Structure 1
Amino acid sequence: MKIVRVRTPDGDLPGLVPVDDDRVVLLAPDELELALTASPDERAALVDERGGGSIPLDGAHLLAPVPRPPKFLAIGLNYAEHVAETGRSRPELPLFFNKQSTCVVGPGEPIEVPRVSHQVDYEGELGMVIGRRCRDVGAADAASVVAGYVVVNDVSVRDWQQRSPTMTLGKSFDTHGPIGPWIVTADELGDPHGRSLRTWVNDELLQDGDTAQMITNCWEQIELLSTVCTLEVGDVIATGTPAGVGVARDPQIWLRDGDVVRIEIDGVGTLENPVVGPR
């Protein structure tokens, strides 16, 4: 099943899309957390119960499936070829940082080039969405706390990122956290590893990787993060980007007004956003 948020005449509403179905079963405005925490059977029961209130998926105005994650965490240098292209060494401890949740936008919404920098880069990533409040989760149990998976563009303002020891400033500009187009529930996707991940800018393929290439896999990431802090329902964890980012190319590629970034992850979906600016 897929978990979505859609814009309707009655406001922005969460919804469920059953497998092989072309409709969005609408939920109440405050039921996104219910959709994230429900078991597969409970979601199926919601679809049966609310099925009369549905709209066609085709043409629906999809929004960021989680509008304001409690935490938006991301990992850097998590693919060996990406580490190599940056010229850096593999970190001893996985390199996590925060993206401020105000950076989140949905599919089709513009990525803004800020007025203070032209060095805006793309990073296609698999995102995990937490479905259960948890702490000290071992890798063997980590899959049980994931509600589902989403496509993430970890947009990065490289000069600001490199000037900030924590990288947070360069990762948190408004509109620089596109996620979507939906959350594919964990029971539908199965193992998130071994999924092809590709990024295009203006139909030019620039990243072509596989989530099996992660240095620290999804379950190990959850184990480490939950050792440090409580993970909450709706937290988004971006799991790293493969090689091919713009800053590492010769010549370098920066996102500019009029560009379109498209990221596709096998079994998860396609996230596409235009670029506007500078602002």
Structure 2
Amino acid sequence: MNYASFRLGAQVIYGVVQGESLHRLDTLPGLPPTLKALLPRLAEGFRPDLSAAPVLPLAGLTYLPPVPDPGKVLCVATNFHEAGKEAPAYPLVFTRFAESLTGHDQPLRKPAASERFDYEGEVALIIGKPGHRIPRERAQSHIAGYALFNDGSVRDWQKHSTQFTPGKNFWESGAFGPWMVSRDSVPDLSALVLRTRVNGVVKQQVALSTMIFDPAWLIAYMSSFTPLAPGDVIVTGTPSGFGATRKPPEFLAPGDLVEVEVPGLGLLRNRVVQDGAEPR
């Protein structure tokens, strides 16, 4: 099932997306008011009965990140084997804040502070079952589902020091969605292929089977130094082909359309807009 969060007027709602409709779950008796609160049950294999769920057309709803308020977003830098390049012993890990993310079909903000705004197509793991020091062989059971992610990166700010935080956290510079696909709907994540397109042209393409650090390894590693909670997100890294690696480099400009797609997980689409420089 595809679970998504939306804004409807002043409300944040969630439900199951089927075709062009949302089967709304937040109003059903016995179900919590947010998708984040439902994640522990989903990780245990719960599937809601949609027969009594109010049905809304997607038109008129505003996509939010599947989990609009993650406690932690832990990201991995490049995480795919490349010919002639030695794989690292450990991943480079950095964090993003919730305010740096936007939903599907929402503007992706190019900061006024930089002309080096880049894209990175990735897959995100959404944690449903809490745990600390999780053994690798039990890691899959802690996943509620999977989503797509565009780790929008402001490269010059990223390189101000050895710490990535500034370049990865400009307001609404990254995207997350369009929904969370429940774990039981994805028999084998490694069998899927990730593609990132800019203005319809494929810029990144990789088999997820070529990850250096697979999801179970990442969960075991991350949970070694921090407890994982429902709603936490682990972003599994990007392949080569992003703008800074191209010759000459290709950075995003206002009007560009970025699409991250994995058949079986969906398509995350955002158009780049110029963000202002005035105080907010």
Superposition TM-score, scaled by structure 2 size: 0.89
Q: Deviations over 1:27-63 (max 9, x none)?
A: 1473323331214763324x34x42x22134664322
Does structure 1 residue 37 correspond to structure 2 residue 51?
A: no
Worse-matched range after superposition: 223-232 or 5-14:
5-14
Alignment of 1:208-247 (within 5 A): 208-247=205-244
Deviation at 1:166, TM superposition (A): 2.0
Does structure 1 residue 207 correspond to structure 2 residue 204?
A: yes
- The equivalent residue for 1:24 is 23
Gaps of 5+ in 2: none
- The equivalent residue for 1:97 is 94
Kindly provide the amino acid, as one letter, of the partner of residue 71 in structure 1. Answer: K
RMSD (Å) for aligned C-alpha atoms: 2.1
Does structure 1 residue 256 correspond to structure 2 residue 250?
A: no
Q: Percent identity?
A: 35
Gaps of 5+ in 1: none
Does structure 1 residue 62 correspond to structure 2 residue 63?
A: yes
Alignment of 1:1-279 (within 5 A): 1-9=1-9, 11-17=11-17, 22-28=21-27, 30-39=33-42, 42-45=46-49, 47-48=50-51, 50-51=52-53, 53-57=54-58, 60-81=61-82, 84=85, 90-279=87-276
**Which secondary structure does the structure 1 equivalent of 2:249 belong to?**
coil
* Consecutive aligned runs of 4 or more in structure 1 exceeding 3 Å deviation: 20-23, 39-42, 56-61
Tell me if structure 1 keeps the 8 A contact 2:20–2:57: no
User: CA distance change for structure 1 residues 177 and 192 in 2, over 3 Å: closer, same or farther?
Assistant: same
Kindly provide the amino acid, as one letter, of the partner of residue 74 in structure 2. Answer: L
How many aligned positions are there? Answer: 271
Tell me if structure 1 keeps the 8 A contact 2:186–2:264: yes
Quote the Cα distance in structure 1 between the aligned partners of 2:134 and 2:188: 18
Quote the Cα distance in structure 1 between the aligned partners of 2:130 and 2:33: 18
Quote the Cα distance in structure 2 between the aligned partners of 1:157 and 1:180: 20
Q: Deviations over 1:145-174 (max 9, x none)?
A: 000000000011111112232211111111
Worse-matched range after superposition: 54-63 or 212-221:
54-63
Q: Deviations over 1:104-146 (max 9, x none)?
A: 1001111111121110110000000000111111111111000
Tell me if structure 1 keeps the 8 A contact 2:37–2:230: no
Quote the Cα distance in structure 2 between the aligned partners of 1:106 and 1:210: 24
Quote the Cα distance in structure 2 between the aligned partners of 1:194 and 1:188: 13
Kindly provide the amino acid, as one letter, of the partner of residue 139 in structure 1. Answer: R
Tell me if structure 2 keeps the 8 A contact 1:69–1:235: yes
User: CA distance change for structure 1 residues 151 and 82 in 2, over 3 Å: closer, same or farther?
Assistant: farther
Quote the Cα distance in structure 2 between the aligned partners of 1:27 and 1:233: 17
Structure having the higher helix fraction is 1
Worse-matched range after superposition: 29-38 or 222-231:
29-38
Quote the Cα distance in structure 1 between the aligned partners of 2:177 and 2:83: 23
